[in-house]
Amino acid sequence: MPLAPPASHALPADARAAVLAWFDARGRALAFRGTRDPYAILVSEVMAQQTQISRVVEAWSRFLERFPTVTALAAASPANVLRAWRGMGYDRRALNLRRAAEVIVAEHDGQVPRDLAVLERLPGIGPYTARAVASIAFGAAVGAVDTNVRRVLGRALGGPDGLAPTQVQAAADSSVDPVRPGDWTHAVMDVGATLCRPARPRCDECPLRPWCQFAGSPAPARSRSRATSRTAPTPFHATTRWLRGRIVDRLRDVEDASWVAVEAPIGDHDEVAIEAALSALARDGIVELDPGATRRARLATS
């Protein structure tokens, strides 16, 4: 029989203990979880934004081999950082990470700041990444909210209807384990990634089942909470994101600052689409455009 929901929208201590015991036995063994270096943790958390963890593990090790310290990253050219970011997508993250390194070196003596508000002000570091770094690297009792955490806490504390957006961060902060905040951050993410999935959640295996209002609700109510879409997704190769990635990969293959002709077509994308993508990449600071030729570019040099 499920227990009554905590009135404060916070998981009780015995629920936290159950999640941590499950994590100790079943949590994902990921390479970047073996470090307490704040810089290495910052890199891993920026990489994990919008990217599957399986892709992050190899890229994280490769990136740290190239830029082992925050000082090394701050001193690198944007082009070299983008080359080291190959395969990760969302290339603006790489440039923001480099800019964050520059701020850390210039304003914090090369040490990743401990203060949550200061972390949030670093380029590209939003509330989730700042809280993840604060909890994992510095043991701060703050709750990092990503898609997985939002789903786990929303279901456990709010049932099929979930929690209101304004309640989620407060619930995460109230539910964090004060003794093991870093492990708690990893544990709730793992519950969401492996058990509390958007569709067909594995409630019978979940350590939160005795306290979960979603698991304890009738099946029809659980079914109503599943998001459905009647629109077929656009094939990835037809998207601007795919095109941008192919253009940047072509430029990555050139190790110097030479201009590269970006010929059409690329997949199903014609000259017009390529020129639009190049302009957008230039606005984002990822590439530079040759002022003397059409569709000639290189990775950003400064």
Percent of the chain with pLDDT over 70: 93
In this prediction, residue 5 carries a pLDDT of 42
Of 248, 244, 228, the residue nearest 277 (C-alpha): 244
Q: What is the mean pLDDT of residues 120-137?
A: 96
Q: Which two tokens stand for residue 18?
A: 């159950």
User: Residue 110: what pLDDT?
Assistant: 97
Model confidence at 259: pLDDT above 80: yes
pLDDT, residue 224, reads 58
Residue 46: φ, ψ to 5°: -65, -40
* Residue of 144, 137, 154 whose CA lies nearest to 176: 144
- Any idea which residues carry the catalytic annotation? 45
The pLDDT value recorded for residue 246 is: 95
Instruction: Set out the domains of the chain in order of their start, with CATH numbers.
Output: 31-138 (1.10.340.30), 143-219 (1.10.1670.10), 236-299 (1.10.10)
Lowest mean pLDDT among 12-26, 147-161, 207-221: 207-221
* Spatial distance between the Cα atoms of 136 and 171, rounded to a whole number of angstroms: 18
In the prediction, which pLDDT does 225 show?
Answer: 57
Q: With cut-offs at 50, 70 and 90, classify the pLDDT of residue 219.
A: low
Q: Please compute the mean of the pLDDT values over residues 207-212 and round it to a whole number.
A: 97
Question: Do 181 and 141 meet the contact criterion of CB atoms below 8 Å apart?
Answer: yes
Q: Would the pTM count as exceeding 0.95?
A: no
pLDDT over 90 (residue 157): yes
Which band of pLDDT confidence, cut at 50, 70 and 90, is reported for residue 226?
low
pLDDT at 7: 41
Indicate if the pLDDT at residue 234 is higher than 80.
Answer: yes
User: Cα–chain-centroid distance for residue 233?
Assistant: 22
Of 188, 192, 210, nearest to 201 (Cα)? 192
The overall average pLDDT reported for the chain is: 92
pLDDT of residue 3: 43
Contact 245, 215 (CB under 8 A): no
Q: Output the pLDDT for position 302.
A: 87
Instruction: List, for residues 105-120, the tens digit of each pLDDT value.
Output: 999 999 999 999 999 9
Q: What percent of the chain has pLDDT over 90?
A: 85
| Region 49-76 average pLDDT | 94
pLDDT digits (tens, 9 = 90+) for 4-56: 444 458 999 999 999 999 999 999 999 999 999 999 999 999 999 888 888 89
CA 173 from chain centre, in angstroms, equals 19
Question: Mean pLDDT, to the nearest integer, of 57-83?
Answer: 96
Tell me the two tokens of residue 173. 């902060």
Q: Evaluate whether 257 touches 264 at the Cβ level (below 8 Å).
A: no
Q: What is the pLDDT of residue 9?
A: 82
What is the token pair recorded at 235?
Answer: 């094939």
